[in-house]
Structure 1
Amino acid sequence: MTLTLEPMTEEQYRRYRDRAEVAYAQDVADSGMLPPAEAQQKARDDYARLLPDGLASEGHHLWTAYDGDVEVGLLWLQVERKSDGPHAFVYDFEVCPEVRRKGYGRAILEAAEAQCREWGVVSVGLSVFGFNAGARTLYEQMGFEVAVLQMRKRL
């Protein structure tokens, strides 16, 4: 595997946005955080707030991951300067369905971590929905620790 992260093209970004907002709204609804209509509004609002200028949104980096010439996934990372240095947050991370379970998730995160080290980033954070056991396992294996844990009970 020869994995590289390349900045998304405008076309890749358009394809990403077409599906990402819908998928995020579905995840929010599936988690039980909000009913579907409110989850859809939250997704629209969050994307508009975080990426007001698309690929040119300040502090945000959207990459397509490649193994050679083959597109295998994507990563959206924000870097923000705080009093102790730059901190990064992973807003989205995806491995293409046809190549899952082949080590690309780990490779994408390792490539992003290497880039963050070059930039002097002091920490990388992310959020994961509780029902996404596979992602949670990967993140724990890669050294991510729980910073906040929100729980609820359906009645």
Structure 2
Amino acid sequence: MNAQKVTLRRMTAAEYRAATEHREVESVRELGKFVSEELAWERVRQGTAQFLPDGLDTVGHHLVVAENASGEAVGNAWIGPDPSRTLGTVNSAWLYDINVFPAFRRRGYGSAILNAAEQLAAREGSTSLGLNVVGDNEAAIALYRRNGYDVSSMHMRKGVRQR
């Protein structure tokens, strides 16, 4: 497969609304495995308000659309400062979200968007790019590993019940 290349551009207001809706729905789906749907929505919306208080205009955050060589939007990403600063450096950026649109999946665009996000972070002075991935998202884990990402922390969970 030929290596894809993408260009990142700032999202429009409409693209931001669509990306936020998609991210929140996906987050609720994942969080809903552990808490009620109502609580999941509350937490997800609190997270959006906390990390993007000014939405698309939140300082230090890049909400971008990835376009291929033909100018088609193939996905999007949200890159910003590391929220925990636990990666050992204050110059760490964080990939809050990455999305390859369905029609462009399995064609190398995930790697291309990651590469472009890394370049953006480096231009901003970051020395690393961290991210979080849900433990059962095997496709995403494989993508990150193929692109040189290593596990830096692991949280595990098991449901328990009284007997």
Counterpart position of 2:12:
9
TM-score (norm 1): 0.90
Q: Does the C-alpha gap of structure 1 residues 49 and 111 become closer, same or farther in structure 2, counting only changes over 3 Å?
A: same
Partner residue of 2:150 out of 133, 137, 145 = 145
For the Cα contact (< 8 Å) 1:8–1:64, is it kept in 2?
Answer: yes
Q: Could you list the runs of 5+ residues in structure 2 that have no partner in the other structure? A: none
For the Cα contact (< 8 Å) 1:21–1:43, is it kept in 2?
Answer: yes
Give matches, 1:24-35, under 5 Å.
24-29=27-32, 32-35=33-36
For the Cα contact (< 8 Å) 1:59–1:80, is it kept in 2?
Answer: no
Shift of 1:80: 5.5
Letter in 2 for 1:69: G
Number of matched residues? 153
Are residues 1:129 and 2:134 paired?
A: yes
Q: Does the C-alpha gap of structure 1 residues 84 and 150 become closer, same or farther in structure 2, counting only changes over 3 Å?
A: closer
Q: Does the C-alpha gap of structure 1 residues 50 and 99 become closer, same or farther in structure 2, counting only changes over 3 Å?
A: same
Could you say what secondary structure the match of 2:136 adopts? coil
For the Cα contact (< 8 Å) 2:82–2:130, is it kept in 1?
Answer: no
Q: Percent identity?
A: 36
Q: Distance in 2 between matches of 1:101 and 1:45?
A: 32
Counterpart position of 1:71:
73
Q: Does the C-alpha gap of structure 1 residues 136 and 84 become closer, same or farther in structure 2, counting only changes over 3 Å?
A: closer
Q: Distance in 1 between matches of 2:47 and 2:91?
A: 22
Could you say what secondary structure the match of 1:55 adopts? helix
Letter in 2 for 1:71: A
Q: Does the C-alpha gap of structure 1 residues 80 and 146 become closer, same or farther in structure 2, counting only changes over 3 Å?
A: closer
Moved over 4 A (4+): 80-85
RMSD: 1.9
TM-score (norm 2): 0.86
